[in-house]
Amino acid sequence: MSRELFVITYGALVAQLCKDYEKDEDVNKYLDRMGYDIGIRLVEDFLARSAVRKCRSYSETVDVIAQVAFKMYLGVTPSVSCSNTTENEFFLILDKNPLVDFVEELPAGRCSLCYCNLLCGVIRGALEMVHLAAEVTFVQDRLKGDDVTEIGIIFSKKVEDKKHKRKK
């Protein structure tokens, strides 16, 4: 499927979900769950096509997501930053977000909608398949008037420390 067709289809999906669900939170949840289902399948394709090796730190994993996975599937490379206070929290900053190429603003009355929430689910599902539990959410969104679009990834230390002993 061409990227353009995917972006248009995604827009149609969000529009339909907004018709089906009154609450933005329910649309957000649906998109996240759908993304998760995609992510748990996509990771196999990603690992096979990218041939990336096992990452030894959270920051290496986030760099792989930004530089290899986003580039491969969306044709963009977000910049990465990390939290100053916790060593398990990272941010992907998207200067360009192809999923909103044809979207100027959020639909009327849907100000809590996380239009691209599918992406959070995809990342969460893919990470889970490489034994990394993480919370993935939009922390800023240009469609909501923020200066940038930013996805936050908080790795769950518990699972991580016990099983994989990765460093920051």
As measured in angstroms, the least distance from the Cβ of 36 to ligand MYR is 11
* Torsion sign (Cα): 92, 95, 99, 105: positive
As measured in angstroms, the least distance from the Cβ of 10 to ligand MYR is 12
- Containing H/E element for 89? strand 89-94
Contacts of 148 (CB under 8 A, 6+ apart): 93, 94, 95, 140, 142
Which residues of this chain interact with ligand MYR, rule CB under 6 A?
43, 46, 52, 54-55, 61, 64-65, 69-70, 73-74, 119, 122-123, 126-127, 130
SS3 141: coil
As measured in angstroms, the least distance from the Cβ of 94 to ligand MYR is 11
Of residues 65 and 113, the one with the C-beta less far from ligand MYR: 65
Of residues 70 and 91, the one with the C-beta less far from ligand MYR: 70
As measured in angstroms, the least distance from the Cβ of 27 to ligand MYR is 19
The answer to whether 135 and 47 have CB atoms below 8 angstroms apart is no
As measured in angstroms, the least distance from the Cβ of 16 to ligand MYR is 21
DSSP designation for 126: H
Of residues 92 and 143, the one with the C-beta less far from ligand MYR: 92
Q: Check residue 131 and give left, alpha or beta (phi > 0: left; psi -120 to 50: alpha).
A: left
Of residues 72 and 111, the one with the C-beta less far from ligand MYR: 72
Of residues 21 and 139, the one with the C-beta less far from ligand MYR: 139
Partners of 88 in the β-ladder = none
Residue 86 CA to chain centroid, in angstroms? 20
